[in-house]
Amino acid sequence: MGFKHIGKDVQYRPDVLERVTGEAIFIDDIKLPGMLYAQILRPKYAHAKILSIDTVEAEKMPGVYKVITGKGWEKHYGDCIKDMMPMVVDKVRHIGDALAAVVADTEKHARDALKKIRVEYEPFPVCTDAMEAIKENAYLIHENSDEYFHVSPLYEPIPKTNIAVHYRIKKGDAVKGFKEADVVVEREFNFPLMSSAAIEVHGAIALFRMDDTIEIWTSNVGAFAVREEVANLFDLPISDVRVHMPYIGGCFGYKSDPSLGPLIAYIASFVPGHPIKLRVSRQEDFTSTFLGRGIRTKMKIGAKKDGTFTAMEAKLYLSTGAYADTGSNVLIVATQSAGGVYEFSNADVTGYSVYTNTPPVGALRAYGHPEIQFALERLVDIVARELDMSPTDVRKKNFLSVGKSNVVGETMKKSDGDLYKCIDNVERAIFSKERPEEDENYYYGRGIAGLIKSPKAPTFAAKGCHIKFNVDGSVSVNMSGADVGQGLFVLVRQITAEALKMPLEKVRVYNEIDTQFSPWEWQTVGSMFTFQGGNAIIKAANKAIEMLKKNAALVLHRDVNVLEYDGNYVYDRSYPDVKVLVSRICRGYIMKDGTTIGDVVQVSSDFRLPGAQNPDPETGMGRTGVSYTMGVQGCELRIEKKTGKVIIDNFATSIDIGRVINPSNARGQVVGGVVMSIGETLMEEIKFDKNGKLINANLLQYKLPTIYDMPGKQTIEFVETHDEIGPFGARGIGEHPMVGVAPAILNAIYDAIGYDFYEIPVTPDKIKAVIGGDTEAR
Amino acid sequence: MKNITLMLNGKKETIYFEEGDTLLYVLRDRIGLMGTKFGCGYGACGACTVVINGEAVRSCKVLFKTLEGADILTIEGLTEGKKLHPIQQAFVDANAVQCGFCTPGIVMELYALFSKEPDASDDRIKEVLSKHLCRCTGYESIFTAAKLVQKTESYSKQDKKDFERAAKLAREYIKE
Ligand code: FES
Ligand code: FES
């Protein structure tokens, strides 16, 4: 297929000039007339009953308009589990909860007044780990979790325990499968809590108007989700809430946190007529928005002598945090992904989402997938060792491919990807030369891991697209996908231009999302935009072309079926001279006497994952993924003997993404994702003290990777097995590069020093403890 | 409120502020220059970097009251009309901008570096970039952009002279 714009490096993203000059408007750049500032009081304890909150002194402070608490509020909110409130009422459950707020003329005045609020607490025992919170005698974090609204039985808790959600997948007969195995290996793994930590912190502004409508500006990537949540909270028609989404300074999942919208709206409801702005501090960005990951896994694999896997059993424990609405989805996704890129005819996987006294867990780039595939891909290496097979051979023996079925029982299609091509690419990049022998300064190692990901979202999640033809034949496209830096706007431009056979310059893409004008979409998460958004564009473009042809038929006196469209003209296929300019018919056609015929060409469309279903309540299986993307990652690394530092010389990624729409941006996603994941593998971890305080909630102690942590080189090869449904055969790539990094590195570390790590981050200290013979830090 | 006079993006300005204001706060909240970004407030991320008297500085760590007579350049001062500064152009060409939140700070950092050391070594470039956090790009494209700047003839020779001339003029202007 010859494309004009697809697969080409269109580096000039429509938004790049604004971003590179500092002109782009992010949430904190918005100032509105009459705007006031809110600051939030966070509790002293991570788990306590609130006995009293005294705000009298705070109210007298300079500049203060209002001091607000949750007192008297009754309504809970949440998408799948309604266990949250805009502000806490009688109990705090984690150190970042919203206890009280001050609204003042400046941020500083609001902060000063916070210090005058007096709170009396009755502290309760604190529990920050699922393994503790799940114990029978554990202190309950939500006493009556069964009384909350749950969207379906899948989200029901076990009453009088801290278990918010439990989900089991049973495929085949695992007991029998293990009996057939020649080798059975079992290990425990830990993927700790971490933060998306975008460089832009969260922020929001809310305005309660006199007519009871609410207007919100937010850094949240789900403008429509915020709108629904806030409307429900205040019993308003959804149409009375209007949400704006400006430019977003990086998302990585946590900017889908639903809590800031309800919080700022609640605060603003006490000060109608004033826009109220809340920009959280970097510390609050850690303590009071989503964290990610936090899953412990116990996994067991059985295999025959020839390497064929016979069964897999896994138990997953998510420390879901103080509220389980979003974390429970992370847990469900992780459970569904337990089989990774391999076929297991027999599997028994159970996941528990457990309330803990930490900030709630939510989406973090590829959520659910890296956690479990970290365990799986490490264990597969250990199985290979037991069988005396090479790690690549065991993998090839069990890879999913056309006709095989994954853990939830979905049969793989050709377009889900070609793992054999991917592993070939990675083998060529990483394993084609001999591994260097240990020398005076370094140990050398190489490792590999498979990866699989599907978009995970409610079955109804869709993307919308509005296309409007202008009278000069240019088009305006409105959608609601957030460009958080991944290059979404240029992708919209490329796909629209391709579908409408136009030059890129004639396509103008939106750069602000406004629920009053933008078409509905669920949220920009799950690497779904290319697939769903791209298809929504093509559907809209086709509708527009149909309309143009109908208009042309009236003008040219031809049957619609004989007409063709080429971007400039609609013409008769057999007599190309019989034609009319698109610009003459896109607002209808004006005849000599002024009479106008035909329709104005502005169209609307949408696209969702076709046929996605909820899992079967009995077996936990079903069409829950629908569209898969698979790949392989691997690396060559060195470990410095003196320091224990891991130096990655080459990191290879090969993923089958159907079709590459924009090579430079696709590479950018992988390069950035791999480095982000190197961060979680080697340095990042949210740490708590025994009272549930985050002890490293700042960018000095919570180390993000710097330029010194980037691999010596990244080898990236995309495989392009045409996707029958994807737009021009394409699927997304935003999150996938995160999935195989940690196991590939830890497998390589084993290769280098012969030591198995089961937990990340693997810091230099931990390695030194191993190679230096000191066992303490293990 | 107090005031001081300084050079801001090539213009002499008298600016009002309050005692504890940081430069970042004055830029963003008092005079509305929003291109300089807040990422942490304590010198860890580099998003707030501006150039003061030729040096790249974290504006969140500088008290405004110390800046009497200083020559300050922010991202807004880099473009001339519609013409991107060569460093910005290199970022566009290398596709080194993803969300763009770290970009103004990094561009200013490189501006200060290349003004003094147009031929800075790779190690030196990495050293200054290591003071900046970017969560999106994985740094590869940013490093490429920096190298691209060095290859841009117009930048390495002429711009350095421009910068020195401007800085000298500024100092004289403020003295008088
Ligand atoms: S905001 Fe100044 S260094 Fe982060
Ligand atoms: S481009 Fe997003 S933080 Fe650097």
Residues of A in contact with B132 (CB under 8 A): 706-707
Same domain, A330 and A431: yes
Q: Which pLDDT score, from 0 to 100, does residue B81 have?
A: 86
pLDDT at B152: 82
Residues A619 and A602 in one domain: no
In-domain check, residue B35: yes
Residue A630 maps to which CATH number? 3.30.365.10
Which of ligand 1's atoms lies nearest the C-alpha of B37? Answer: 1
- Residues A478, A467 share a domain: yes
> Is any Cβ of chain B less than 8 angstroms from the Cβ of A28?
yes
Closest A-chain CA to B103? A20
- CATH number of the domain within which B34 lies: 3.10.20.30
Looking at residue A243, its amino acid is: V
Q: Starting from the CA of residue B27, give the closest ligand.
A: 1
Residue ending a domain, among A579, A608, A637, is: A608
Q: Distance between CA A646 and CA B98 in Å, rounded?
A: 27
Mean pLDDT of B97-118: 97
Report d(CA B136, CA A252) in Å as an integer. Answer: 9
Note which residues in 18-77 of chain B have CB less than 8 A from chain A: 28, 32, 34-42, 44-45, 47, 74-76
Whether A761 and A625 map to the same domain: the answer is: yes
Q: B101 with B37, same domain?
A: no
B108 and B170 share one domain: yes
Whether residue B99 is found in the same domain as residue B149 = yes
* ipTM for the complex shown: 0.96
How much is the pLDDT for A10? 75
Starting from the CA of residue B141, give the closest ligand.
Answer: 2
**pLDDT tops 70 at residue A778:** no
pLDDT confidence of B173, banded at 50, 70, 90?
very low
Which CATH number belongs to the domain containing residue B149 in this structure? 1.10.150.120
Could you tell me if A356 and A310 lie in one domain?
yes
Q: Taking CB atoms and an 8 Å cutoff, what residues of chain A touch B75?
A: 21-22
pLDDT tens-place string over residues A61-113:
999 999 999 999 999 999 999 999 999 999 999 999 999 999 999 999 999 99
* Enclosing domain of residue B161: 86-175
Is B55 part of any domain?
A: yes
Which tens digit of pLDDT belongs to each residue from A199-237? 999 999 999 999 999 999 999 999 999 999 999 999 999
For residue B80, name the pLDDT band (cuts at 50, 70, 90): confident
DSSP H or E segment with residue A374 = helix A369-387
Claim to verify: residue B63 and residue B31 sit in the same structural domain: yes
Burial class (CB in 10 A: 0-12, 13-18, 19+), B140: buried
Q: Of A513, A576, A593, A587, which is closest to residue A547 (Cα–Cα)?
A: A587
CA A551 vs CA A105, A596, B114: distances in Å:
57, 11, 58
Residue B157 lies in a domain: yes
Q: Tell me whether A16 touches chain B (CB under 8 Å).
A: yes
Chain mean position to CA A117: 37
Residue A559 within any structural domain of the chain: yes
Question: Which chain B residue lies closest to A737 (C-alpha atoms)?
Answer: B138
Q: Do B130 and A707 touch (CB under 8 A)?
A: yes
Q: How confident is the model at residue B162 (pLDDT cuts 50, 70, 90)?
A: low
Q: What residues contact residue A114 under an 8 Å CB cut-off, 6+ apart?
A: A39, A40, A41, A58, A100, A102
Q: Which of A282, A700, A707 sits opposite B139 (nearest CB)?
A: A707
Domain boundary among B75, B103, B121: B75
Region at A644 (left for phi over 0; alpha for psi -120 to 50; beta for the rest): left
Chain B positions in Cβ-Cβ contact with residue A19 (cut-off 8 Å): 97, 99-100, 103
Q: What is the residue with the minimal CA distance to atom 4 of ligand 2?
A: B134
Instruction: List pLDDT tens digits, range B133-156.
Output: 999 999 999 999 999 999 886 555
pLDDT computed for residue A1 by the predictor = 60
Q: Could you tell me if A675 and A745 lie in one domain?
A: yes
Residues of chain B contacting A196 with CB distance shorter than 8 Å: 135
Is some CB atom of chain A closer than 8 A to the CB atom of B122? no
The two three-digit tokens of residue A105, written as one number: 């003329």
Give the max Cα distance, chain B.
47
Q: What pLDDT shows up at residue A2?
A: 87
Same domain, B50 and B120: no
Q: Is residue B63 part of a domain?
A: yes
Q: How much is the mean pLDDT over chain A?
A: 96
* Residues A663, A628 share a domain: yes
Residue B37 CB–ligand 1 contact under 6 Å: no
B115 shares a domain with B64: no
pLDDT in tens, A667-684: 999 999 999 999 999 999
Instruction: Say if residue A776's pLDDT is above 90.
Output: no
Decide if A168 is inside a domain.
Answer: no
Tally of structural domains, chain B: 2
Of A251, A279, A307, the last residue of a domain is A279
Q: What is the CATH number of the domain that holds A94?
A: 3.90.1170.50
Residue A142 lies in a domain: no
Query: Where is A184: in which H helix or E strand?
Result: strand A183-194
Contacts with A707 from chain B: Cβ below 8 Å: 126, 129-130, 132, 139, 142-143
Q: How far is B38 from chain A (nearest CA, A)?
A: 7
Q: Does residue B56's CB lie within 6 angstroms of at least one atom of ligand 1?
A: no
Q: Report whether A217 contacts A209 (CB < 8 A).
A: no
CA distance A484 to A559: 45
- Which pLDDT band, with edges at 50, 70 and 90, does B171 fall under? very low
Q: Give the residue-averaged pLDDT of A8-12.
A: 77
The mean per-residue pLDDT over the stretch A130-149 comes to 97
Do B129 and B50 lie in one domain? The reply is no
Q: Report the atom number in ligand 2 closest to the C-alpha of B136.
A: 2
Domain edge (last residue) among A219, A245, A279: A279
Q: In terms of domains, do A66 and A44 share one?
A: yes
Domain count, chain A: 3
Domain of A477?
Answer: 16-22+460-608
Query: What is the predicted pLDDT for the residue at A531?
Result: 94
Of residues B107, B108, B117, B112, the one with CA closest to residue B156: B117
- Please give the distance, rounded to the nearest whole angstrom, from the Cα atom of residue A699 to the centre of ligand 2: 15
For the residues of A494-542, what is the DSSP string, one character each? HHHHHHTT--GGGEEE--SEETTTSPP-S-S-TT-IIIIIHHHHHHHHH
Task: Tell me if chain B has a CB within 8 Å of the CB of A699.
Answer: yes
Query: What percent of chain A lies above the pLDDT cut of 90?
Result: 95
Using a CB–CB cutoff of 8 Å, tell me whether A120 touches chain B. no
Average pLDDT over residues B12-18: 97
Q: Are residues A591 and A657 in the same domain?
A: no
- For residue B42, give the ligand nearest its CA: 1
Residues B100, B127 share a domain: yes
Q: What is the pLDDT of residues A33-50, one digit of tens each?
A: 999 999 999 999 999 999
Mean pLDDT, residues A329-353:
98
Q: Report how far ligand 1's centroid is from the alpha carbon of B15 (Å).
A: 22
Looking at B16, B51, B75, which one is the last position of a domain?
Answer: B75
Q: Ligand 2: which atom is nearest the Cα of residue B47? A: 3
Does residue B96 form part of some domain? Answer: yes
* Whether residues A485 and A597 fall in one domain: yes
B118 and B51, same domain (yes or no): no
d(CA A682, CA A710): 12
Q: Kindly determine whether residue B34 and residue A29, on different chains, have CB atoms separated by under 8 Å.
A: yes
Same domain, A253 and A329: no
pLDDT at position A432, please? 94
Q: Which atom of ligand 1 is nearest to the CA of B43?
A: 3
Q: What is the pTM of this model?
A: 0.96
Q: What is the pLDDT of residue A457?
A: 83
- Answer for the pair A93, A141: CB distance below 8 angstroms, yes or no: yes
Long-range contacts (CB closer than 8 Å, 24 or more residues apart) made by A224-231: A224/A480, A224/A515, A224/A520, A224/A521, A224/A522, A224/A523, A225/A79, A225/A256, A225/A258, A225/A522, A225/A523, A226/A258, A226/A261, A227/A515, A229/A77, A229/A79, A229/A258, A229/A261, A229/A262, A230/A261, A230/A262, A230/A265
Q: Look at residue B172 and tell me whether its pLDDT is greater than 60.
A: no
Which of the four pLDDT bands, split at 50, 70 and 90, describes residue B168?
Answer: low
Note whether residue B36 is domain-resident: yes
Ligand 1 binding pocket includes B54 (Cβ within 6 Å): no
Residue A524 is predicted with a pLDDT of 85
Domain membership flag for residue B80: no
Q: Is the pLDDT of residue B174 over 50?
A: no
Average pLDDT rounded to a whole number, residues B34-60: 98
Specify the pLDDT at position A171.
98
Asked whether residue A458 carries a pLDDT value surpassing 90, the answer given is: no
SS3 A44: coil
Are A581 and A480 in the same domain? yes
Tokens 């832009």 appear where? A200
For residue B28, pLDDT over 60 is answered with: yes
Interface list for A 162-221 with B (CB within 8 A): 196-201
The pLDDT score that the predictor gives to residue B176 is 42
Q: Which two tokens stand for residue A584?
A: 């003459």
Q: Kindly report the nearest CA distance between residue B60 and chain A, in angstroms.
A: 13
pLDDT for B157: 52
Best of B95, B113, B131, B147 to disrupt the A interface (most A CBs within 10 Å) is B95
Domain final residue pick, B43, B75, B107 = B75
Pocket of ligand 2 (CB under 6 A): A 199, 250, 485; B 97-103, 134-137
Q: What is the pLDDT of residue A456?
A: 81
Question: Which ligand 1 atom is at minimum distance from the Cα of B45?
Answer: 4
